[in-house]
Structure 1
Amino acid sequence: MAIWNQGTQDKKTTGPKRFGFLLLPNFSLIAFSSAIEPLRMANWVGGGEHYETVLVSHDGEAVASSLGVELLVDCSLNEIPALDAVFVCGASPIARTGNEAVIGWLRRQSRSSMALGGVGTGSYLLACAGLLNNYRATIHWWDIASLKEEFPNTLVTNNLFEIDGARYTCSGGTAAMDMMLFLIAKEHGMELAASISEQFVYERMRTSEEQQRIPLKARIGASQPKLIEAVTLMEMNIEEPLSTDDLAHHVGVSRRHLERLFKKHLQTVPSKYYLDLRLEHARQLLRQSDKTILQIGLACGFSSASYFSTAYRNHYGVTPREERKRESDSPDSSSLGRSSLMS
């Protein structure tokens, strides 16, 4: 299925894709830059005009970012040209009032085939306009709970970005770059996307399946410093796991007290939580690195390939070898060239 859909205005049938960026006051500068810079680089690296960008504000006036840096725009909403897609770059934090003109304009696009995207809290504006009903969408982890509660018809995920039909949303920050690299790869191939990633010294391109890492402190609050310290130690010691007794000793509580903290706040025991962390890390390595299965098992604290394989199958329902094969055989993997990394 084609990523880009023809707009309702006098749409060009050839030439570069034209992406609009609707800037809201206090928009996140890092999210905006992460979204627009890959398009500029696609033209430079690709040796052609693959993309045009149009900056928009609701009234055509300059817009100040969350850092106070003002950006001049090309036009207002009333002057917007034909676009292949428009991305709403939301305020940081969310501005829940004063968006009536933007929401009204977005609602008028409900019958348009132009792709609509949200960068960071821009997803909130799309939801307010009813444009995410029955769509998968994401937003920054800080706002996930409120988006789910306020818009129950939106299928809110914790993923870095979501591409669902003509709706493109991302969690903000550098996830905007991952989303754009994905779209560039779909349109022009993985080689160009990888070259752009290299130009930005971007270590790896993350997939839409990867989840945002919600800080434990945000999930349980700051009132449990011992629990947060224990989990931090786990995350820092994946290759050589610490025993529960060692964890308790390092954070200065008894083993029984540590187990009670995990049970009360995380609904599990320390050993199970630790194992899940290691297996999650192993899954990322299986999908995104060229290390052997044995190397990955050892890097995640498993003393043998058989132990690693059994634990992985019990957790994910497939063996590490099956996971790698499934990833390399998937349509997204082949289209984005990930299969070459999975052998």
Structure 2
Amino acid sequence: MLSSSSQPSILKVQKPLIADDDGVFTLSFLLLPEYAMVSLLSAIEPLRIANRLAGKTLFRWQCFSEDGEPVLASNGLALQDSLSIHASEKPRNLFVNASFHPEKHASETSIKWLRELHRLGFMIGALDTGCYLLAKAKLLEGYPITLHWEAKPCFQERYPELEISDELFEIQGKRVTCAGGTAATDMMLYLIDAYFEPELAILVCEQLIKSAARNQTDHQRASQAEKLKLHHPKMVKALALMAANIETPLATSDLADHLAISVRHLERLFLQYLACSPSAYYVQMRVEHARYLLSDSGLSIADIALACGFSSTAHFSRRYRALYGTTASQYRSGIQ
């Protein structure tokens, strides 16, 4: 495979793409308003480079929109006219590309179109928050999926029955989902490696000034301990336990039990490394998690409070104001 940091050999190489009649793989992208252009370009550029280095056309790409008109991206720019989803020829490999307010831009027309592609047995995927449209079309049941880490909390609340990972991309059968951003490049390098000579993927990687492609199983974000540059094994595990138990917070005594240390020892560690108690840091972590939900979900403040482990809205509101100096409702009003 691509490098020592690419897929481990024990993992089955996934080949989800469907070739055109001439053997070329055409990748199509359905652009929803406010989509992230970085995801689109990060997906297309490795394909362009692969064609150039191979000296022949291995890949084609095209963009779709619901009406065939240019779509305004989140950066305020728009590309040339897209193909309409009402065109007679159906894309065999489609990625839904979305970013901000994906549910707002998910139309019944697009949902029906996706279901038609599914009935035809075509590959259907998503970049960034494009999986919202796939979820509304009920095309994700039974598949592991991923999406941008910032959107994950509210997606989990909206679709608790779906299996969501923190990985850069997920491929199973004819479903391919990607966290978006530059993770789209890592996914395309994986696909180039899977379908063609591994050396080609390495050359494409070098052209992109990347030392190596990230592993599919690499997490999207640095852990809390990594961001804080903490290396003490007990602190690393404590922060990981906190992050994994936001909705139902663990008591300090339970954390200590998991770490096989006393409560007093745990409190000394937090004071030494973070200058606060375990409970104070835990509250801060949960309030920060709530802030993501406020910005990216339609959940009520009361529901967000519960999702972040607060027993009441009043308790959550006090903690939020103490940390950010404003109320949760004021913050939400300011970003809408």
Question: What TM-score range do you get, normalising by the shorter chain?
Answer: 0.5 to 0.7
Which SS does the other structure have where 1:186 is aligned? Answer: helix
Which SS does the other structure have where 2:95 is aligned? Answer: strand
1:111-130 alignment, distance < 5 Å? 111-130=119-138
Q: Show the counterpart of 1:325.
A: none
Q: Show the counterpart of 1:53.
A: 61
| Match 1:3 to one of 15, 24, 27 | 15
Q: Show the counterpart of 1:185.
A: 193
Q: Show the counterpart of 2:245.
A: none
Whether the aligned pair in 1 keeps the contact of 2:70 and 2:82 (CA below 8 Å) is no
Within the alignment, does 1:63 sit opposite 2:71 as a pair? yes
Whether the aligned pair in 2 keeps the contact of 1:4 and 1:84 (CA below 8 Å) is no
| Match 1:234 to one of 225, 229, 232 | 229
Q: Show the counterpart of 1:161.
A: 169
Quote the offset at 1:81 in angstroms. Answer: 2.9
Distance 1:266 1:63, change over 3 A: closer
Q: Which runs of 5+ in 2 are unaligned?
A: 1-12, 237-265, 287-336
Distance 1:158 1:73, change over 3 A: same
Paired AA for residue 234 in structure 1: K
> Structure 2: how far apart are the matches of 1:13 and 1:200?
30
Which SS does the other structure have where 1:78 is aligned? Answer: coil
- TM-score, reference length from structure 1: 0.63
Quote the offset at 1:210 in angstroms. Answer: 1.4
- TM-score, reference length from structure 2: 0.64
Q: For residues 131-174 of structure 1, give each alpha carbon's deviation from its aligned partner in whole angstroms, at most 9, with x where no partner exists.
A: 11111111111221222232234211111110011111011111
Paired AA for residue 35 in structure 1: A
Whether the aligned pair in 2 keeps the contact of 1:233 and 1:247 (CA below 8 Å) is no
Q: For residues 215-250 of structure 1, give each alpha carbon's deviation from its aligned partner in whole angstroms, at most 9, with x where no partner exists.
A: 75xxxxxxxxxxxxx874425x79xx99x9798467
Q: Which runs of 5+ in 1 are unaligned?
A: 217-229, 268-343
| Match 1:204 to one of 207, 212, 216 | 212
1:1-343 alignment, distance < 5 Å? 3-4=15-16, 6=18, 12-79=20-87, 81-213=89-221, 216=224, 232-235=227-230, 248=271, 253=275, 257-261=276-280
Distance 1:43 1:112, change over 3 A: same
Q: Show the counterpart of 2:319.
A: none
Distance 1:156 1:249, change over 3 A: closer
Whether the aligned pair in 2 keeps the contact of 1:90 and 1:119 (CA below 8 Å) is yes
Q: Show the counterpart of 2:321.
A: none
Quote the offset at 1:214 in angstroms. Answer: 6.5
Which SS does the other structure have where 1:142 is aligned? Answer: coil
Q: Show the counterpart of 2:323.
A: none
Q: Show the counterpart of 1:270.
A: none
Identity %: 32
- Between the two structures, name the one with larger relative contact order (CA 8 Å, sep ≥ 6): 2
Quote the offset at 1:25 in angstroms. Answer: 1.1
How many pairs were matched up?
Answer: 244
Paired AA for residue 76 in structure 2: G
Tell me how large the CA RMSD over aligned residues is.
Answer: 3.2
Distance 1:187 1:259, change over 3 A: same
Quote the offset at 1:262 in angstroms. Answer: 5.3
Paired AA for residue 188 in structure 2: M
Q: For residues 183-209 of structure 1, give each alpha carbon's deviation from its aligned partner in whole angstroms, at most 9, with x where no partner exists.
A: 111011321111111101123211221
